[in-house]
Amino acid sequence: MLKITSLHKEFDVEGRKTNALNGINLTLEAGEFLTIVGSNGAGKSTLLNVLAGVYSQCAGTISLNDIEISNKPEHERAKWIGRVFQNPLVGTAGDMSIAENLLLAFLRGKRKNLRWGLTRKNIKLFEETLEPLDLGLEKRLFTKVRELSGGQRQALALVLATITKPEVLLLDEHTAALDPKTAEKIMELTDKIIRENNLTTLMVTHNMRHALEIGDRTIMMHEGEIVLDISGEERENATVEGLIQKFTQLRKEAMLDDRSLLAGC
Amino acid sequence: MLTWLPAIEQSLVFALMALGVYISFRVLNTADLTVDSSFPLGAAVSATMIVSGYSPWTAVLVAVVAGMLAGAITGILSTKLNITPLLSGILTMTGLYSVNLRIMGRPNVPLSRQPTLLRWVEDLGVARQYTGLIIFVVALVLVGVFLFYLLNTQFGIAMRATGNNSAMMNALGVNTDNMKIIGLALSNALIAFSGSLFGQYQGFADVNMGLGMVVQGLACVIIGQAILNGSVLKQVLGVVLGAFIYRSAIYFVLRMDVPVTDLRLITAVLVVIALVLPQLKGKFAPAFLKERKFVNFFGKKAGDTEHA
């Protein structure tokens, strides 16, 4: 279970303070798949980055299975948190082979010892892991990742992030940089992997249809706050048009709203 | 044969030094300027110790450890203290100059008639003119095999990936700061090792013997990379090959009565050529050679979407 309590984050950009997260409260049950929508600057990516430990929060706590993780550095949290980024280049090491990338993913959070890395046993393990995914990657284990297309590379990034079944999976617009057809394929693969492994997931997306069709619960963020939180029947009845309407409404309100920003941390 | 010997010996020492530069420049993907001072540091430490009566083996060992520390300092400056890698190297290099002088107590420590490693080999019954050659070949083979193995271990693969994509390695739970510090320590340990051997070979340690070493090391690495690239084995062999090509080029240039003072300029030009040539190869190659072989599972040609 992931529990986020009154999470605040503020950025100081050239002396101007911006509230990126303004008191986020969110609890996710184990295996719950949450989709997050919101306009640019709503705080979606900031939320994921604070969860992953890329940024430290100004106030508030994050606990995972009742263990406080909000003060642990990024690389320690990575033991429990898998991530896929928008840019396929970020989630994979281009100059290394597919097998080497997989090895590093298998060793997530573990000590890297001085034994030979790509043993025959490991290669067999990788082949067995990739085969059911039907991507054809198992036949190209020694290909350098940079020779893959953006879509293949993002599929691999997804596999790397989920192979050790992390406690939490963070997907930050991970299909946004791909062409529509490839994006659909990756989204299908995402759904399949998450369901098969019952992964607790937070997925940021700009695609309203994906936000409502995939996953169990949808939140909308606006100016660092959660303004909509739907699941179950309410979510099933929600429409893409309804969501967009809500968006437009919020933007109008924002223009009228002139409240001052809080002090920094 | 004998006129060639010094050229071969120097190529071997440079290959050793360049393997250190390879770790920082290629594996960690950072230009580390500590080299200019860690090379003489190795020579200074071992020469001073040999003159003080220590065995040459102990002297070399301590020199390696000293190089390791120098690299670690650069690593700590650039990771824990957030100083840009380039500046971190310059700072350590500058500071080490004084340290080297302190260690030696004067700018130059002669090693003639001292029990160096070369003397040790000579005492085994090897003809004097071949002692350097034997030591360098053995050292290079040992270091080459060690690097080839290390960079293929779990740890080594993680280190290479850190240089390639440190954001990804952070997300996979690797403390990339520590990885960079260890890498730079290893790199400068090798460079100090080659400095130590070179000092004993030329018969003295000099505080200025490291001047321009970075660029010469880069020359070997980049020339090698232009010829052999790919797996770790190819890269390591490429560096050794690069060192031989670079030193041969220098050897021939010097034989054409070019003054020694022009060496640096020639080296810089060589590095530029080695950096530019592979780009030209890409530009003027026929189209069918550029086309990627793979058609991906989405029916799109690989390489259409990104060029890393």
Residue B35 CA to residue B19 CA, distance in Å, equals: 12
| Burial bucket for residue A195 (CB in 10 Å: 0-12, 13-18, 19+) | middle
Rg (CA), chain A: 19
pTM, rounded to two decimals:
0.87
Q: How far is CA B100 from CA A179, B228, B282, in A?
A: 58, 36, 44
Residue A6 CA to residue A53 CA, distance in Å, equals: 16
pLDDT band at A255 (very low <50, low <70, confident <90, very high): low
Q: Is A142 in contact with A130 (CB distance < 8 Å)? A: no
Cβ of residue B158 closer than 8 Å to a chain A Cβ: yes
Nearest residue of B to residue A179, measured between CA atoms: B305
Nearest residue of B to residue A111, measured between CA atoms: B155
Residue B72 CA to residue B183 CA, distance in Å, equals: 8
Residue B269 CA to residue B172 CA, distance in Å, equals: 41
Q: Which B residues in the span 164-193 are in contact with A, Cβ-Cβ below 8 Å? A: 164-165, 167-176
Contact yes or no for B302 and A91 at CB 8 A: no
Cβ of residue B26 closer than 8 Å to a chain A Cβ: no
pLDDT band at A244 (very low <50, low <70, confident <90, very high): confident
Of A79, A83, A117, the CB nearest to B154: A117
Contact yes or no for B297 and A118 at CB 8 A: no
pLDDT band at B297 (very low <50, low <70, confident <90, very high): very low
Cβ of residue A166 closer than 8 Å to a chain B Cβ: no
Q: What percent of chain B has a predicted confidence (pLDDT) above 70?
A: 90
Structure confidence by residue, pLDDT tens digits, A79-134: 999 999 999 899 999 999 999 999 999 999 899 999 999 999 999 999 998 988 88
Judged against a pLDDT cut of 60, whether residue B265 lies above it is answered with yes
CB atoms within 10 A of CB B85: 21
Cα B128 from chain centre: 27
Contact yes or no for A114 and B150 at CB 8 A: yes
Q: Which two tokens stand for residue B304?
A: 């259409």
Q: Tell me the chain A residues in contact with residue B156 when contact means C-beta distances shorter than 8 Å.
A: 117
CB atoms within 10 A of CB B3: 8
Q: Which of A86, A121, A142, A149 should one mutate to test binding to chain B, selecting the residue with the greatest count of B CBs within 10 A?
A: A149
Q: How far is CA B251 from CA A28, B192, B227, B246, B255, in A?
A: 69, 24, 20, 9, 6
The predicted model gives A203-215 an average pLDDT of 92
Q: Which A residues in the span 171-190 are in contact with B, Cβ-Cβ below 8 Å? A: 179, 181-182, 185
Q: Which two tokens stand for residue A192?
A: 């399949």
